Amino acid sequence: MKIYKVLPDLSKTRQMKIWHKALRSQWSATDIKWDTPQRITSNHLKDQLGRILTPVLMGEQAALYSVSGLIPILGKMSQVESQLYLTTWAVDEARHTELFTIFYDRIDRQPMPIRRFPAGYLFQSQIVAEEPAEWLAGVLVSEVMAKKLMEEFRRLDLDPILSDVADGILLDEARHLGFNHIYLEDRFSDLHLNAEDQGQGFALQLHRRLDSVLSHLQPVLDALATELKDIGIDRIEIFDKVGHEARQRLDKSILAGRRHAEGKQKASQLAEAELVGA
Ligand SMILES: [Fe+2]
Ligand SMILES: [Fe+2]
C-alpha cells in the first residue's frame, strides 16, 4: 500500500507548526462548568435560541463529516503534513458538535428537523467536495459564518456557558482559517511556478465555488429572520460581513501564493495566516 509509505515532509515547517499548535490547544467539553446557573429563563427565548442554534450544530456536524472525508484523500495525494493537521480539525469539529449537543440539553430544546429547515440542510450539502482546494474554498463560507456567529454570541452574552463555548470555538476556528490560508497559499505558489497559466483559471474556479456556497447561506438566515432580529443579530449585516471576509481571505491566499512564487514575498507566518482577511 503506497499511501502508508509516504512520510510527512518535515521541511513544511508551517504545516508542522500548525499541527503541533493544534495538538497543544486541545480541550474538552468537560472543561466547561455546565452547572453554572442559566441566564436565559424565558421559554420563548429558549425556543428561539433552539431554532437559531440549528444551523450551528448542523454546521459543526457537517464539518466533522467533511473534514473526516478529506483525511484519506490527503493521504492518497501524499500530502501527509496536511493529513496530520486535519486529524485535529476533525477532533475540533467533533468537540464543537458535542458542545452544542450538551447546550441543547441545558436549555431543554432540540434542533429543528430537516422538513422545517430545508435551507439549512441544503447549505451544508453544498460544502462537500473531494478536491481539497475546492473544499477549502467552500468551507471558508461556513467557517467564517461560525466565527461571526460566535463573535455575536460573545457580544450578546445571552448565557455565561454559551459565551464560554463561543470563546473556545473562536480559538479553534482561527486555526482552521489559518490552515485554509497556508494550504491555498502553497497550492497557488506551486501552480504559479509550474503552470502559471492555470493559476488564474483555478483562482476563478475557487471564487465561483465560494460564491455558489455563499448563495445558499442567505436562505438559511432568512428562515431565521424573526429569531435573529429578536435576539439582536442583524442578518443582512452578518451575511454581508461573511461574504466580504470569505472572499477577502480567498483573494489573499491566492495573491500571497503568487507573490511568494515570484519571490516578492515570504510565505505567511502562522499568526498572520490566522488573521489574514479578518
Ligand atoms: Fe466548528
Ligand atoms: Fe471549524
Interval between CA 88 and ligand 1 midpoint (Å)? 12
Interval between CA 97 and ligand 1 midpoint (Å)? 7
| Ligand index nearest the alpha carbon of residue 127 | 2
Cell of 250: 480567498
Interval between CA 174 and ligand 2 midpoint (Å)? 8
Contact at 8 Å (CB) between 79 and 9? no
* Of residues 175, 69, 52, the one with CA closest to residue 128: 69
Contact at 8 Å (CB) between 271 and 254? no
Interval between CA 90 and ligand 1 midpoint (Å)? 9
Interval between CA 90 and ligand 2 midpoint (Å)? 9
pLDDT at position 194, please?
A: 85
Cα–Cα distances in angstroms (integers) from residue 132 to residues 70, 206, 228, 236, in the given order: 7, 11, 33, 30
124-130 contacts at long range (C-beta below 8 A, 24 or more positions apart): 124/58, 124/59, 124/62, 125/62, 126/212, 126/213, 126/216, 127/62, 127/66, 127/213, 128/65, 128/66, 128/69, 129/66, 129/209, 130/69, 130/70, 130/73
Q: Cell 512520510 belongs to which residue?
A: 7
| Ligand index nearest the alpha carbon of residue 139 | 2
Interval between CA 63 and ligand 2 midpoint (Å)? 7
Is the sign of the CA dihedral 125, 128, 133, 136 positive or negative?
Answer: positive
Interval between CA 180 and ligand 1 midpoint (Å)? 14
- Residues near ligand 2 ion, CB 5 Å cutoff: 143, 176
pLDDT at position 1, please?
A: 52
Interval between CA 203 and ligand 1 midpoint (Å)? 26
Domains located in the chain, CATH noted: 38-275 (1.20.1260.10)
* Of residues 9, 22, 57, the one with CA closest to residue 274: 22
Q: Cell 467536495 belongs to which residue?
A: 129
Cell of 89: 480539525
pLDDT at position 231, please?
A: 96
Note the pTM of the prediction, 2 decimals: 0.94
Mean pLDDT in runs of 10 for the chain (278 residues)?
A: 75 94 97 96 96 96 95 93 97 98 98 94 93 97 96 97 97 96 94 83 96 97 97 97 97 94 85 75
Contact at 8 Å (CB) between 126 and 231? no
Interval between CA 123 and ligand 2 midpoint (Å)? 15
Interval between CA 2 and ligand 1 midpoint (Å)? 32
Interval between CA 44 and ligand 1 midpoint (Å)? 26
Interval between CA 93 and ligand 2 midpoint (Å)? 6
pLDDT at position 3, please?
A: 56
